[in-house]
Structure 1
Amino acid sequence: MGVKLKGLILSLDNVLTDNAVIRRNDPMFEDVGRLMRFLQYRQIKPIIFLNRPRMDINGTPLLTFLNTLFKCDMDLVIAQELELPMKPSPAGVNHILDQNDWQPNEVLYMGNSDTDVRTAINSHVLFVNVGWFHDSVEYGIRFESPWEVARFVDIFCLRDHLWEYHIDKGPLQVYALTLGGWQEQPYKDYYDHARTALKEGNKNTDFWIKYLTSTIYFSGIYDKANYFAPYPTHQEGSGNNIIDQYLQPFSKCFNKTYLKDIIVRHTNVLSSHKHQSSRSFKKQLESISLNKNATNPRTGRAYANPPLNKNKTVLVIDDFCTFGHSFETARAYIEATGASAICVACIKTLARSYEQITQITVSDPYMPNKLSQEPTVDPHRMNDHVTDREAPYELKQRIEQYNSWDWPYSIIA
């Protein structure tokens, strides 16, 4: 289950105005107005959130002036007038959530300043980082125009279907956006689209990562984890640069630590997808260990003590899942520290059972381990864990809409 976007909380300066200046004939202001009208067209409530009251404009109250200018119906919340702690305290956002009966992941926070970032983080709300008037901060999902925000909202934030695939077996928690393969519809239409985007990087990478991050957000699983960690590719010493590029700023929105080098590939290994006939669980397990000197992203230096321990949860992110060998390897090493793992992939390969390890001993998760034999596994049939059969059809539709999206005619007419 998940939720959809219901509200957008926004700052005034450098979002609706250019350093408190409004130029009526500036095309950017026209697009800001279109964005506000578009939100209401999609039944999303825009709420301006200020610390203090602002002066009237030519004798007209600020909210009345802006609603007239942009031809919309925004609300205004002022912390000082409500005797609430000011930003970056979460009190104002929490007040807005309570008044509208919203959950944190049913809203976005749109801003441009360090104070906006801290407010969103403290409120556990996804930060929409806008740079259409001035350079923005480094956190959140960055947008250069109101048009980009509107497209993001329409394509990613109003979906009826989130995860097509989910294994829910106690400590085994595995999610995938969709299934993928070469032969069956609708899967074959977007399988190559995803594979090139996620393995090599191209113009479609932005779509897939935003689809993944928005699903993590609206399903709420981001809030179950203390850490985010990418699973490395198949070459020794490799990380996962494509996932790092997008997921690291996303994780910062919720004050989740992104451990880009906690899972280490110390030996080359074959891909289960490409070499299914020679796949070996043992080789995968023997090619991975955890990094005792993982980098603390807040300091840029190694942790004095390894960060994983009891009562901690790691959200492990990979692009594709075939038999689950990567995820099971990550789980085995992470659980050996006392922590737990939630595993998330963009695509689960069609017609392949997920092979759960039933018993294994990792003697030291921070060192390479040698196994005497292949571990025993408990296969989970793919069809038993398809939880939303409409998800792939919605995904296909969103791909088609993404590259041709434009303002609805009623917004620009």
Structure 2
Amino acid sequence: MTGLMDSATEIDICNHLKLHLKDGHDKGENPFRVYSLLSAYRIFSEIDKIYGWGYYPSSDGKVNTPLLTIKEILRKSFKSRPKEDILFRHKPSVKRSKQNASSRASAGCDNQFDSIHLNPYYRGKIKGRNFCVIDDFNTHGTSCETVRHLLEKAGADKIIFISLGKYKVTYKKYNYTIEGDVFTPNYTYTRNGDFSEDRGVINNDSSNELLKSLRDYFLC
């Protein structure tokens, strides 16, 4: 959303969303408002087949209440039983928003792998199953790539990553080899070559429907 909008209304909604997700702003805290934000995702049949829902942990490891609320609403809505977090941030990492664009792109997922592992609760419960992880904003795609590599290593069948906002930067796909136990901090990783870039496809047809569902909630 963010960085791709043209109208003042769209930008205003995005700003409210950013305040809510990043800065703890209380407007939109009501679960019904949050649910309206995510109602558009019900069109994806894959979501009905999700075993586990999670959210990407903050750089300081503290609970991200807005994302946790959204995750729990989706988990309950789609009748997913496991409520435990999929990812553990076992130590603080560099806050990526404080880094410049070139540093973030060149660093890849390294500092994320250094500070994140999968929840041991899911040991033996990931192989062949589908998972969905939610994040607030996506810039280069580092958080998504971190999730992809860890869950693929554990044997997940399908991985869906929902970012509630997208900055106008190309998605970077990184190639890593992961070795060891990804349910502990002790696994190792090797980066293979440079990243590839993907501009993606914007579904403009869904914009008006999403805006209509959000306008009265975030701008009332």
The TM-score with structure 2 as length reference comes to: 0.80
Q: Decide whether aligned partners of structure 1 residues 243 and 404 sit closer, same or farther in structure 2, where only a CA change above 3 A counts.
A: closer
8 Å CA contact 1:334, 1:341 repeated in 2? yes
Shift of 1:221: 3.1
1:195 alignment counterpart: 18
Quick one: distance in 1 between partners of 2:163 and 2:33? 11
Identical-pair percentage: 25
Instruction: Answer with 188-197 or 271-280: which moved more.
Output: 271-280
Query: Residue 223 of structure 1 aligns to a residue in which SS?
Result: helix
Q: Secondary structure at the match of 1:319?
A: strand
* Aligned partner of 2:217 among 377, 402, 407: 402
Gaps of 5+ in 2: none
Task: Please tell me whether residue 262 in structure 1 is matched to residue 86 in structure 2.
Answer: yes
Alpha-carbon distance in 2 for matches of 1:248, 1:310: 22
Could you tell me which residue of structure 2 aligns to residue 211 of structure 1?
Answer: 36
Report if aligned partners of 1:272, 1:322 keep a CA contact under 8 Å in 2. no
Contact 1:230 1:243 in 2 (8 A): yes
Deviations 1:64-90 (A, max 9, x none): xxxxxxxxxxxxxxxxxxxxxxxxxxx
Q: Give the 3 Å change call, closer, same or farther, for CA 271–205 of structure 1 in structure 2.
A: farther
Deviation at 1:322, TM superposition (A): 1.2
Contact 1:229 1:315 in 2 (8 A): yes
Change (3 A) 1:361 1:247: closer
Deviation at 1:226, TM superposition (A): 1.1
SS at match of 1:385: coil
3-state secondary structure, aligned to 2:177: coil
Residues in 2 aligned to 1:214 and 1:267: alpha-carbon distance in whole angstroms: 34
Residue 403 of structure 1 and its aligned partner are, at CA, apart by 6.0
The structure having more radius of gyration, on CA atoms, is 1
1:346 correspondence with 2:164? yes
How far residue 216 of structure 1 moved from its aligned partner, in angstroms, is 2.5
CA contact (8 A) 1:227 1:258 kept: yes
Please name the residue that 1:251 is paired with.
75
Query: Are 1:314 and 2:138 an aligned pair?
Result: no
Report the Cα offset of residue 328 of structure 1.
0.8
Query: 1:317 offset after TM fit, Å?
Result: 1.2
1:80-135 per-residue CA deviation (whole Å, 9 max, x = no partner) reads xxxxxxxxxxxxxxxxxxxxxxxxxxxxxxxxxxxxxxxxxxxxxxxxxxxxxxxx
Task: Answer 1 or 2: which has greater helix percent.
Answer: 2
Structure 1 pair 205/324, CA: closer, same or farther in 2 (3 Å)? Answer: farther
Q: State the partner residue of 2:206.
A: 391
Q: What is aligned with 1:231?
A: 56
TM-score (norm 1): 0.45
Q: CA deviation at 1:263?
A: 0.3
- 2:115 corresponds to which letter in structure 1? S
**Which residue of the partner structure matches residue 197 of structure 2?**
379
Task: Report the residue type matching 1:198 in the other structure.
Answer: L
Answer whether contact 1:309 1:338 (CA < 8 A) is retained.
yes
Higher relative contact order structure (alpha carbons within 8 Å, sequence separation ≥ 6) = 2
**1:330 has 2:147 as partner:** yes
Question: How many Å separate the matches in 1 of 2:205 and 2:133?
Answer: 25
Query: What do residues 24-52 of structure 1 show as CA deviations (whole Å, max 9, x unaligned)?
Result: xxxxxxxxxxxxxxxxxxxxxxxxxxxxx
Query: Within 2, Cα distance between the matches of 1:364 and 1:354?
Result: 27
Residues 330 and 320 (structure 1), Cα distance of their counterparts in 2 relative to 1, 3 Å cut: same
Unaligned stretches of 5+ in structure 1? 1-178, 295-304, 406-413
Q: 1:274/1:389 Cα in 2 relative to 1: closer, same or farther (>3 Å)? A: farther
Question: Of the candidates 290, 305, 309, which is equivalent to residue 118 of structure 2?
Answer: 290
Check the 8 A contact 2:16/2:218 in 1, yes or no: no
Q: Confirm whether residue 242 of structure 1 aligns to residue 58 of structure 2.
A: no
Q: Aligned partners of 2:6 and 2:88: how far apart in 1?
A: 36
Alignment: residue pair count: 210
Residues 113-262 of structure 1: pairs in structure 2 closer than 5 A: 179-181=1-3, 185-186=6-7, 187-199=10-22, 200-206=24-30, 209-236=34-61, 238-262=62-86
